[in-house]
Amino acid sequence: MTWNWQQADWPHFRYRHEALALLESRFLLQSGKLYGAVKHLKQDEKQALTVDLISDEALKTAEIEGEYLNRDSLQSSILRQFGLHTDRRHVSASEQGHAEMMVSLYENYAVPLTHETLFSWHTALTSGRRDLTEMGGYRVHDEPMQVVSGPIHEPVVHFEAPPSSRVKYEMDAFLTWFNSSAPDGDNPLPSLARAGTAHLYFVSIHPFEDGNGRIGRAIAEKALAQCLGQPSLIALAFTIERKRKDYYSALKQANRDNEISNWLLYFAETVLEAEARTVERIDFLIAKAKFHDRFHGTFNERQEKAVSRLFQEGPDGFTGGLSAEKYISITKTSRATATRDLAELVFIGALKKTGQLKGTRYQLNLNIQQ
């Protein structure tokens, strides 16, 4: 197998510009709508949305690589990074590190990308690790850097990166390309093409012992933010994680050729889906504020607890909706009380009811006319 970095045209990636033209236009139009919607939020709502989205991105970028963080601890650490009020709960080194990287990415999106930035991100991500030789530095081991699966005696090699001896040279070239392709660089590229190429280029080099996927996605987010001229609120990792197999499949194919049209089309569609997801989150937040304005002081303590739990589930809500059993579990009440509480919530218009008998389910009624 000849990998992309072993070919004569590396790293001169090619793609069909006309294939991405419509997607680039959609991205800019959708971005305008997204940030226009954000402007209608109150300051505390913007703050809550930002912290929620950054938390989700940190959580999901770790999950893509098989690491599962505690959302509450992660969010507490992010609040602390922003200098906001937090409960000061104990946070693991990994959760702290992911929070540091994501907040750094958000606050410093506009500055050029450097070796030092990448090293600081890697140090944060690998904080507390004992199994790595190099933390906060590029790999130096002599063994091939391979992405493999299958049994030890018969591994399947999905990709092999350039040897460690070439990493510094390759990363110098990558950083030159990334900064020159920025909107104010010498060779600016369209938003989606630049972000998608940056991610693929970086993970093809695979410069670190571990954490390359997470840092590669952060670089893509930085590219998008620079092209938009403001911090990215795009739920990229959140969207990739939902279709993780598609992501790895697209990367696997892209590692074999420097004609990357198919990869960029996949990546562009993913970004557009992620952006739409963020718009959905903003609409949900606005609807939540209207809901609380209308029903303020109306619910009893049990109902308040259940409604709050429903809002915590986000726009998707509980899979299959809220059942009477789930209401009982959340509120620790009797079936008779749960039935009465739910009937009242439907009667006043706070919940919508679907199904019958054991199939009865409840959803938040956010289509409220003020």
Give the whole-angstrom CA distance, residue 328 versus residue 153: 51
Residue 289 lies in a domain: no
Domain final residue, candidates 283, 309, 329: 283
Whether residue 205 is found in the same domain as residue 309: no
Note the maximum CA span of the chain. 73
Whether residue 209 is found in the same domain as residue 327: no
Give the whole-angstrom CA distance, residue 150 versus residue 273: 32
Pinpoint the alpha helices (H) of 5-42: 17-38
CATH number, domain at 358?
Answer: 1.10.10.10
Q: What is the pLDDT of residues 185-234, one digit of tens each?
A: 999 999 999 999 999 999 999 999 999 999 999 999 999 999 999 998 88
Q: What is the pLDDT of residue 49?
A: 85
CATH number, domain at 48?
Answer: 1.10.3290.10
Whether residue 219 is found in the same domain as residue 305: no
Domain holding 312, by residue range, is: 298-364
Whether residue 106 is found in the same domain as residue 253: yes
Domain final residue, candidates 283, 311, 331: 283
Whether residue 259 is found in the same domain as residue 172: yes
What is the pLDDT confidence band of residue 89, given thresholds at 50, 70 and 90?
A: confident
Best CA proximity match to 220, nearest among 253, 187, 263, 166: 263
Q: What is the DSSP letter of 162?
A: P
Task: State the angle between helix axes of 212-228 and 43-64 in degrees (0 to 180), rounded to the nearest 10.
Answer: 150
Residue 312 lies in a domain: yes
Q: What is the pLDDT of residues 14-51, one digit of tens each?
A: 999 999 999 999 999 999 988 888 887 888 888 888 88
What is the pLDDT confidence band of residue 368, given thresholds at 50, 70 and 90?
A: low
What is the pLDDT confidence band of residue 84, given thresholds at 50, 70 and 90?
A: confident
- What's the structural domain count of the chain? 2
Residue 313 lies in a domain: yes
Residue 290 lies in a domain: no
Question: What global pTM score does this model have?
Answer: 0.86
| Mean pLDDT for all residues in the chain | 92
Residue pair 236/220 in contact by the 8 Å Cβ criterion: yes
Residue pair 259/200 in contact by the 8 Å Cβ criterion: no
For the cut 60, the answer to whether the pLDDT of residue 370 exceeds it is no
Residue 369 lies in a domain: no
Give the whole-angstrom CA distance, residue 186 versus residue 336: 70
Q: What is the DSSP letter of 322?
A: B
Residue 244 lies in a domain: yes
Which stretch, 48-52, 124-128, 199-203, 275-279, has highest mean pLDDT? Answer: 199-203
Q: What is the pLDDT of residues 129-176, one digit of tens each?
A: 887 888 889 999 988 898 776 677 777 788 999 999 999 999 999 999
Domain final residue, candidates 254, 283, 312: 283
Q: What is the pLDDT of residues 293-324, one digit of tens each?
A: 999 999 999 999 999 999 988 887 887 889 99
Question: Strand locations in the chain, DSSP E?
Answer: 146-149, 156-160, 351-354, 361-364
* Residue tagged 């579990």 (tokens): 329
Best CA proximity match to 294, nearest among 361, 345, 353, 343: 345
